[in-house]
């Protein structure tokens, strides 16, 4: 650091000195010129004046020397005038002012020159020690040159002035150098040495401390961007270190817990040289314009919550619909970018769909048709031919993108996601039979009668059966699907092993209950206390005082039972007034698919219902329902989960519902009660929640009351059991199981091709006979 300061100071000193010298040199030069011009002009004026007076008395032959002497003596006292001399045509002095005679030995050359050329001439020269300016001009009588006049002017003051400028410059440089050295030292100390020391100290603390007690970033001035990178770096290091420790512990304890690292090792082993591809309509990062900047938004989607950790663990490629208004400008020429933006771990490949196509495929067929068709939530599905055509086209477009991404790759592994892509598995399989294709259906599959409403059920089922593996959340969805296949298409179903054989291709149908990440690190002891203090302050800021807080986190969707849950809160307050001014329910509602009328109406209805119930019960310092109608980040939601006494998940029908699992995963304090709809997939795995029928308002109100008065021991026991389930069946295990099952598929020798080669008739056979792999 000292060397840096020294170098900096020397460079500054040399720089400043050179600049000062150059500028002083030019200043002196121009000042000198100015002074000389000024002097010459003054001498000329004096000379002209003198000539006018001298010439009439210039009768050199008549001895007018005395007069001339008197005349020039009158001028001799002028400032800086060294003397005046008059010469006759032969160059002999006629009159000379005192002092000059002794210093002039002969007629100076410039005077002779003036006479020869018959015009004035001037020159700077030295007279002893002094510098002088000699100006000479011829004297005339009747146009004939009869003598010459020489004026000698002292020019030493010009040199004195120049010397003064140089002296001032020297002093100025000296002062500047001193000030600059001082300033440099101070700047280095304040802005570089200080922050570097603080950065180093902070980095050391980052490296050595636990995540929970990680110090906040101090004020680091210039080093803020560097520090930001370091935080991410430290987080990755800590995560890697704790993952390695965890792995070692797990191996030692023979634990079945799945981590990102375990998934990575598992998937790498399974994939070999191949790679993992995911197709999902929803992209994990949407780039939107915010004024002049662009920000990356994580959409409200259970699918995104679940798949992001998997992609991060395996460095796969996520192929999705680019919906943000700044999406195009953030991709490369292949429409790809690395994400997450802060810590890139996998590739996002965007696919562009026109507005019209999006209207038909996404809003129309997927969300007005298939979504209500698969959820028994009493909203009528709408099927339009034009939507179906767009759906087919969009499936083709995404399939093309997959084929492009997997070009030249040996046996790629594809996980297609959800009801947006029922046709895609067959398309891929046709073009690239060596691709292992799985599709995971994130929503329920209804019974065959309900699914039969769809005019294109055959095409959808056939498209899905192009996959090697079809995953649902729970067994009953698998059964519904197999029954639908049975009623719709020519095929053979092996009910024991849950496979469908159709046209020389076998599809395995299996439940894979999706899940979330499970944070392993225990919360520091003080975290619970600070959460409850923050909760009081947060409510106070909203003008609310309440002893109990409930939370609900949903996209505003008619399948989620938000209105029913509000009615249950109203009923609770009617039946048990003791909870008035005590219990507040926070509903985080992320607006969703609002271009569909049903969703837009619902948003208005939810707001109106919250207002109605609040209007009925609210007091000056309390409100029963707090509706926060915007999307919240994962991080914000974690805080709400931890701050709440209970969480309400009251879906009328739901494939899994990850909010229930997220709530459980967030409760490291082993407190909090989950009230959970029986009609969610999650209810099968979490029987320790208070299970409710969301259509039964009385029962839900009672469940809320039970949750509020449940003693801490009971809460703890239930939460511990639920946490064990979610911990053991986390998202990494889901992905691990799904990929393992898919990789076991034998691509080269399908069971029924072998059968047909052997000439067996296509009859129902026992599972053992059918399975050859
Ligand atoms: C459900 C679906 C997902 C979808 C999510 C959000 O979880 O299964 O596929 O991404 O809802 O809905 P959106 O239409 O906004 O993607």
Report CA(661)–ligand 1 centroid distance (Å): 17
CA of 422 to the centre of ligand 1 (A): 15
Closest protein CA for atom 16 of ligand 1: 282
The tokens of 386 are what? 């034009």
Whole-number Å distance, alpha carbon 558 to ligand 1 midpoint, is 13
Atom number, ligand 1, closest to the C-alpha of residue 592? 15
Q: Ligand 1, from 285, 286, 302: best to mutate by most atoms within 8 Å of Cβ?
A: 302
- Identify which of 448, 446, 392, 443 has the alpha carbon closest to the alpha carbon of residue 419: 443
Which protein residues touch ligand 1 with a CB less than 6 Å away?
Answer: 282, 301-303, 418, 442-443, 555, 592-593
Task: Tell me, in angstroms, the distance from the centre of ligand 1 to residue 516's CA.
Answer: 16
Cα 371 to averaged position of ligand 1 atoms, centre (Å):
10
Q: Which residues of 262-292 are buried (b: 16+ CB within 10 A; e: fewer)?
A: bbbebbeebbeebbbbbbbbbbbbbbeeeee
Given the CA of residue 418, which atom of ligand 1 is nearest to it? 9
**303 alpha carbon – ligand 1 mean position (Å):** 6
Looking from the CA of residue 366, the nearest atom of ligand 1 is: 14
Name the helix (H) or strand (E) containing 67: helix 65-75
**Ligand 1 centroid distance, CA of 617 (Å):** 35
For residue 479, report the phi and psi dihedrals to the nearest 5 degrees: -60, -45
Q: Where are the alpha helices (DSSP H) in 361-474?
A: 371-374, 385-405, 424-431, 448-451, 457-464
- Give me the pLDDT at residue 225, please: 73
Instruction: Check if the beta carbon of residue 238 is closer than 8 Å to that of residue 212.
Output: no
- Separation of CA 490 and ligand 1 centre (Å): 31
- Ligand 1, residue 300: give the atom nearest the CA: 6
CA of 302 to the centre of ligand 1 (A): 7
Nearest Cα residue to atom 3 of ligand 1: 303
List the one residue out of 625, 603, 627 whose CA is nearest residue 614: 625
DSSP labels for 691-728? EE-TT-HHHHHHHHHHHHH--HHHHHHHHHHHHHHHHH
| Helix locations, 188-301, DSSP H | 194-208, 224-253, 260-271
| DSSP-assigned beta bridge partners for residue 646 | 550, 673
- Atom number in ligand 1 closest to CA 443: 8
Residue 194: predicted pLDDT: 77
Residue corresponding to tokens 């609900």: 552
Q: Which residue has the tokens 């001009």?
A: 137
Question: By three-state DSSP, how is residue 505 classified?
Answer: strand
Ligand 1 center from residue 725 Cα (angstroms): 24
CA 545/CA 549 separation, integer angstroms: 10
- Measured in Å, residue 739 CA sits from the centre of ligand 1 at 22
Q: Which residue has the CA at smallest separation from atom 14 of ligand 1?
A: 593
Three-state DSSP state, 585: strand
Instruction: Give SS3 for 256.
Output: coil
**500 dihedral zone (left: phi>0; alpha: psi -120 to 50; beta):** beta
Asked whether 133 and 124 are in contact (CB, 8 A), the reply is yes
Query: How many angstroms does the Cα of residue 557 sit away from the middle of ligand 1?
Result: 10
Whether residue 394 contacts residue 418, with contact meaning beta carbons closer than 8 Å, is answered with no
Ligand 1 pocket, mutate which of 418, 514, 593 (most atoms under 8 A from CB) = 418
Please state the atom number of ligand 1 nearest to the C-alpha of residue 299.
15
pLDDT at residue 488 in the model: 97
Of 221, 222, 176, the residue nearest 9 (C-alpha): 176
Look at residue 61 in the predicted model and tell me its pLDDT.
Answer: 54
Q: Which helix (H) or strand (E) holds 344?
A: none
- Ligand 1: which residue has its CA nearest to atom 8? 442
Half-sphere exposure of 289 (CA within 13 A, CB side): 6
Residue 535 in contact with residue 541, Cβ under 8 Å? Answer: no
Measuring CA to CA, how many Å separate 315 from each of 73, 276, 282, 320, 738? 105, 8, 18, 16, 17
* Closest residue by CA, ligand 1 atom 11: 301
> What separation in Å is there between the alpha carbon of 633 and the centre of ligand 1?
16
Q: What one-character DSSP code corresponds to residue 320? A: E
| Residues paired with 508 in a beta bridge | 469, 499
* CA distance to 71, 113, 118, 139, 382, per residue, from 145 (Å): 20, 13, 7, 6, 123
Residue 699 C-alpha to ligand 1 middle, in angstroms? 29
Which residue has the CA at smallest separation from atom 6 of ligand 1?
301
* CA 383 – ligand 1 centroid, Å: 19
**187 C-alpha to center of ligand 1: Å?**
54
Looking at ligand 1, which atom is closest to the CA of residue 280?
9
CA-CA distance, 95 to 149, in Å (whole number)?
10
Distance 618 CA to ligand 1 centre (A): 34
Atom number, ligand 1, closest to the C-alpha of residue 417: 9
Which two tokens mark 771?
Answer: 């399975």
Q: Averaged in consecutive runs of 10 residues, what is the pLDDT profile of the chain (773 residues)?
A: 76 83 86 89 87 76 70 82 86 83 78 85 86 89 83 89 86 84 80 77 72 65 72 71 65 73 86 92 97 93 88 94 97 98 95 97 98 97 98 98 95 97 98 97 98 98 98 98 97 95 95 94 69 89 94 98 98 98 98 97 98 97 97 92 97 98 96 98 98 98 98 98 97 94 78 44 34 28
Position in ligand 1 atom list of the atom nearest CA 442: 8
The residue count for the chain: 773
**What is the rounded distance in angstroms from the CA atom of residue 625 to the CA atom of residue 615?**
10
pLDDT at 49: 84
Q: Do 602 and 557 contact (CB within 8 A), yes or no?
A: yes
**584 near 550, Cβ under 8 Å?**
yes
Helix/strand/coil for 251? helix
Atom number in ligand 1 closest to CA 655: 8
Test site for ligand 1: of 285, 308, 442, 472, most ligand atoms within 8 A of the Cβ: 442
Q: What is the predicted pLDDT for the residue at 59? A: 67
Smallest CA separation from ligand 1 atom 4, residue = 301
For residues 738 and 514, what is the distance between their CA atoms, to the nearest angstrom? 10
Is residue 594 within 8 Å of 362, Cβ to Cβ?
no
Please state, in angstroms and rounded to a whole number, the distance separating the CA atoms of residues 728 and 102: 119
CA dihedral 272, 275, 276, 278 (to 10 degrees): -160
Q: Compute, in angstroms, the gap from residue 367 CA to the centroid of ligand 1.
A: 9
Q: What is each CA distance from 357 to 365, 396, 575, 600, in whole angstroms? A: 10, 12, 50, 21
| Shortest-distance atom of ligand 1 to CA 419 | 9
Q: Is the pTM of this model over 0.75?
A: no
Residues 46, 72: Cα–Cα separation, whole Å: 11
**DSSP H or E segment with residue 68:** helix 65-75
List, in order, residues 6 or more apart from 722 with CB less than 8 Å away.
664, 674, 686, 688, 689
Closest CA to 87 of 63, 60, 113: 60
What's the gap in Å between 279 CA and the centre of ligand 1? 13
Within 406-438, where are the H helices?
Answer: 424-431
Measured by CA distance, the residue closest to atom 7 of ligand 1 is: 302
Dist. CA 275 → ligand 1 center (Å): 25
Phi-psi region of 558 (alpha: psi -120 to 50; beta: other; left: phi over 0): alpha
Q: DSSP for 79-121?
A: TTEEEEEEE-TTS-EEEE-TTTTTT--S--HHHHHHHHHTS-E
Please choose from 282, 362, 516 the residue to mutate so as to test ligand 1's pocket, defined by most ligand atoms within 8 A of CB. Answer: 282
Mutate-to-test residue for ligand 1 from 279, 301, 324, 599, highest number of ligand atoms within 8 A of CB: 301
**What's the pLDDT at 24?**
82
pLDDT for res 251: 64
């Amino acid at each position: 650091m000292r060397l840096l300061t020294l170098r900096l100071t020397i460079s500054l000193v040399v720089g400043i000195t050179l600049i000062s010298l150059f500028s002083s040199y030019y200043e002196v030069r121009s000042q000198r010129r100015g002074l000389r011009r000024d002097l010459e002009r003054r001498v000329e004026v004096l000379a002209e004046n003198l000539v006018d007076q001298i010439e009439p008395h210039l009768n050199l032959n008549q001895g007018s020397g005395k007069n001339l002497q008197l005349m020039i003596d009158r001028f001799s006292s002028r400032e800086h005038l060294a003397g005046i001399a008059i010469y006759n045509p032969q160059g002999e002095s006629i009159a000379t002012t005192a002092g000059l005679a002794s210093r002039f030995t002969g007629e100076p050359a410039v005077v002779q020159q003036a006479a020869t050329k018959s015009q004035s001439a001037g020159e700077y020269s030295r007279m002893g020690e002094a510098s002088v300016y000699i100006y000479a001009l011829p004297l005339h009588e009747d146009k004939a040159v009869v003598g010459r006049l020489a004026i000698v002017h002292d020019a030493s003051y010009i040199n004195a002035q120049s010397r003064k400028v140089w002296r001032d410059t020297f002093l100025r440089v000296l002062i500047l150098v001193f000030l600059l050295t001082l300033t440099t030292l101070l700047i280095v100390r304040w802005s570089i040495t200080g922050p570097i020391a603080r950065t180093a100290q902070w980095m050391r603390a980052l490296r050595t401390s636990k995540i929970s007690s990680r110090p906040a970033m101090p004020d680091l001035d210039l080093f803020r961007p560097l520090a930001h990178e370091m935080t991410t770096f430290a987080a990755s290091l800590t995560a890697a270190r704790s993952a390695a420790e965890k792995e070692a512990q797990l191996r030692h304890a023979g634990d079945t817990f799945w981590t990102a690292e375990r998934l990575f090792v598992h998937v790498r082993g399974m994939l070999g040289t191949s790679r993992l591809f995911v197709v999902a309509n929803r992209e994990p990062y949407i780039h939107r314009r915010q004024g002049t900047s662009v920000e990356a938004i994580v959409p409200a989607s259970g699918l995104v919550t679940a798949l992001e950790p998997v992609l991060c663990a395996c460095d796969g490629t996520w192929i999705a619909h680019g919906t943000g208004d700044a999406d195009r400008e953030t991709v490369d020429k292949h429409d790809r970018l690395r994400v997450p933006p802060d810590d890139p771990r996998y590739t996002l490949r965007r696919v562009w769909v026109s507005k019209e196509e999006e209207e038909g495929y996404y809003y129309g067929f997927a969300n007005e048709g298939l979504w209500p068709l698969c959820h028994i939530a009493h909203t009528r599905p709408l099927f339009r031919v034009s939507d179906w055509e767009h759906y087919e086209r969009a499936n083709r477009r995404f399939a093309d993108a997959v084929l492009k991404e997997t070009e030249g790759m040996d046996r790629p592994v594809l996980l297609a996601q959800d009801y947006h892509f029922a046709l895609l598995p067959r398309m891929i399989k046709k073009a690239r039979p060596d691709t292992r294709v799985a599709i995971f259906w994130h929503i329920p599959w209804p019974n065959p009668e309900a699914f039969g409403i769809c005019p294109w059920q055959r095409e959808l089922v056939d498209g899905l059966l192009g996959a090697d593996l079809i995953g649902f959340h729970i067994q009953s969805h698998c059964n519904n699907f197999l029954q639908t296949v049975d009623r719709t298409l020519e095929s053979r179903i092996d009910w024991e092993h849950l496979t469908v054989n159709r046209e020389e291709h076998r599809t395995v149908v299996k439940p894979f209950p999706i899940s979330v990440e499970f944070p392993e690190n225990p919360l520091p002891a003080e975290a619970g206390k600070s959460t409850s203090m923050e909760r009081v302050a947060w409510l106070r800021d909203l003008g609310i005082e309440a002893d109990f807080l409930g939370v609900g986190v949903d996209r505003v969707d008619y399948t989620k039972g938000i209105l029913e849950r509000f009615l249950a809160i109203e009923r609770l307050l009617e039946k048990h007034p003791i909870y008035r001014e005590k219990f507040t329910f926070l509903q985080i509602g992320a607006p969703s698919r609002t271009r569909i009328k049903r969703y837009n109406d619902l948003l208005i209805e939810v707001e109106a219902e919250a207002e109605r119930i609040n209007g009925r019960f609210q007091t000056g310092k309390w409100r029963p329902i707090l509706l926060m109608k915007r999307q919240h980040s994962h991080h914000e939601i974690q805080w709400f989960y931890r701050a709440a006494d209970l969480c309400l998940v009251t879906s009328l029908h739901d494939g899994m519902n990850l909010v229930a699992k997220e709530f459980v995963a967030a409760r490291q304090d082993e407190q909090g009660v989950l009230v959970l709809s029986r009609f969610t997939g999650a209810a099968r795995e979490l029987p320790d929640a208070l299970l409710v029928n969301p259509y039964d308002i009385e029962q839900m109100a009672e469940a809320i009351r039970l949750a509020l008065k449940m003693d801490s021991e009971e809460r703890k026991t239930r939460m511990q059991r639920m946490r064990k389930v979610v911990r053991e069946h986390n998202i990494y295990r889901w992905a691990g199981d799904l990929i393992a099952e898919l990789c076991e598929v034998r691509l080269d020798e399908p069971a029924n091709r072998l059968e047909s080669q052997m000439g067996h008739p296509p009859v129902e056979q026992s599972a053992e006979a059918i399975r050859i792999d």
